[in-house]
Structure 1
Amino acid sequence: MIKQILAYIRKSDLVVEVLDAREPDLTRSKRLENYVMENQKKLLIVLNKGDLIPVEVLEKWKKFIEENEGIPTIYISATRHLGTKVLREKIKELIEGEGKIIFIGYPKTGKSSIINALKGRHSATTSKHPMSYGYTRSIQLFRIDNRIFAWDTPGIIPPDGNELERIIRGANVDKLEDPVRGAKLLIERIEGIDKSVLRNTYKIDYSNYLDFLEKLALKRGWILKTSHEPNIDEAAKAFIRDYHEGKIIYYLLPENVNK
């Protein structure tokens, strides 16, 4: 599929890379960005799920990327249809009114939702969980308006990087070898940014990641039939799904990315 995506990038007038506004740096595909630049194609970065992040933080990311890398950047919330007019106008500006664009991004960044928002009706296939039923499986062509066409690509840019990065980039939670370890890494990531996030989100007071998962399992009634212990595997998977679905809200400032 990567080879197909590269082929469609070569055919496109503009490449739109969709990122998760909570983790802009970790949801970028530098490999594909480099390919876009090497083929002298225009690139637009879209920070999606912008409703989860304070506007001033989104503005800082926009300024940071544009000033440091020279890549046009906007922010939107596709599910709430916020900023889609700005996106439409930016696309028209970059392709000078007409042409073909391609949306790329890791799973769960919201590419298909953006196309739906641009079209004003549900035409692109969407799903709640990576690689589940309804998930975009093939490259599909859509008409944005009379002069703009868009290819929607499956979000199967392999979630690469280390274990935490793969989880943030939309790895299929049901295929994780050790979901508890994955949840631990994500919990540590979030706590390293804001220790109050999980307590405020889940209304759970806990001492460590294992205590959190046990209490989450008990709160939701997930008990193992044989041992009558909390099903922490199920809690871990649910926690990672909650993250993908935007239920866990935190943010990074650009200057803190490499610290």
Structure 2
Amino acid sequence: MLGKVIQLIKRSDLVVEVLDAREPSLTRSKKIEDIIVKNYKNILLVLNKGDLVPLWVLKAWKDYFKTEENIESVYVSATSHLGTKILRDTMKSLLKGNKGIVVFVGYPKSGKSSVINALKGRHSAQTSAHPLEYGYTKSIQLFKIDNKIYAWDTPGVIPPDGNELEKTIRGYNADLLEDPVKPALMLINRVIEFSKESLISVYKVDFNNPYELLERIAIRRGWFYKSTKEPNIDMAARAVIRDYHEGKIAYYTLPPSLYRDDKSNSI
């Protein structure tokens, strides 16, 4: 899968890396960004799911990327079609007004498909198929965003990597986890660090620790182990991870330049 992503990068003029606006740092792929740099490609960061994060936080991340790393970024909410015109205009600017091909990359659940669908709109149209190189026989389609911008119709999916928390945030499928409780507890701790209230708002229960939250979710939803009749925390853990991926848990993290500020701000 990663090899296919690299092929698309090499055959494109601009790489758009789609991030989760709640966790911009943890949803960036340094490995992919190194490949982008080595192939002398422009990069644009897109903070998707921007509706889950306060505007001032989105602006702070945009300023951070530009000031500290000299990387252009935009923030959008693809499902609400907010920010797509700015995204389109920024891509044009980075292509310097020339025709070009764009590839969208990112971890699963970052919303790459939603961003692509939002850009397609009524102006897009499929063009000819192009076979991938190096032994790949399946063709993929280019679609036309406007008169000068084309994009691959299949986003470049980066396999989730890192530790258990990072893999979870980067979109690892909850249903494939043999033991979902540990990563779910790590994720809950991560959210609590910034906004416990967001979890209380979603699950309508108060709690003293992450394990208790899983128990109360299971009890509230009637999930119990058949053998012991204890709350089924495995089902609760998978539900929390899925809810996170689906954007039901709203919170935010701050760029390093602001990290020393009070990070306990609630939304």
TM-score normalised to the size of structure 1?
A: 0.89
Q: CA 1:138–1:228 in 2, change beyond 3 Å: closer, same or farther?
A: farther
Structure 2 match to 1:216: 217
Task: Please provide the CA RMSD for this pair.
Answer: 2.1
Q: CA 1:140–1:232 in 2, change beyond 3 Å: closer, same or farther?
A: farther
Q: Distance in 2 between matches of 1:164 and 1:57?
A: 22
Q: Distance in 2 between matches of 1:181 and 1:155?
A: 28
Deviation sequence 1:120-159 (CA, Å, 0-9, x none): 16x9xxxxxxxxxxxxx99543221233211144564121
Structure 2 match to 1:236: 237
Alpha-carbon offset, residue 178 of structure 1: 1.3
Structure 2 match to 1:59: 59
Q: CA 1:141–1:209 in 2, change beyond 3 Å: closer, same or farther?
A: same
Is 1:178 the equivalent of 2:169? no
Q: Distance in 2 between matches of 1:155 and 1:230?
A: 39
Give secondary structure in 2 for the equivalent of 1:88: helix
Q: Distance in 2 between matches of 1:88 and 1:52?
A: 21
Counterpart mapping for 1:102-181 below 5 A: 102-120=103-121, 140-154=141-155, 156-181=157-182
Is 1:191 the equivalent of 2:192? yes
Structure 2 match to 1:70: 70
Counterpart mapping for 1:9-88 below 5 A: 9-88=9-88
Q: Distance in 1 between matches of 2:170 and 2:259?
A: 16
Alpha-carbon offset, residue 225 of structure 1: 2.6
Give unmatched runs, 5+ long, in structure 1. Answer: 124-136
Q: Tell me the number of residue pairs that the alignment of Structure 1 and Structure 2 aligns.
A: 246
Alpha-carbon offset, residue 106 of structure 1: 0.2
Give secondary structure in 2 for the equivalent of 1:196: helix
Deviation sequence 1:53-73 (CA, Å, 0-9, x none): 111110000000111111111
Deviation sequence 1:193-212 (CA, Å, 0-9, x none): 22322122211111222211
Q: CA 1:115–1:154 in 2, change beyond 3 Å: closer, same or farther?
A: closer
Q: Distance in 1 between matches of 2:249 and 2:56?
A: 19
Q: Distance in 1 between matches of 2:112 and 2:210?
A: 32
Q: CA 1:153–1:257 in 2, change beyond 3 Å: closer, same or farther?
A: farther
Give secondary structure in 2 for the equivalent of 1:235: helix
**Maintained 8 Å contact 2:29/2:106:** yes
Give unmatched runs, 5+ long, in structure 2. Answer: 125-137
**Maintained 8 Å contact 1:5/1:153:** no
Structure 2 match to 1:131: none
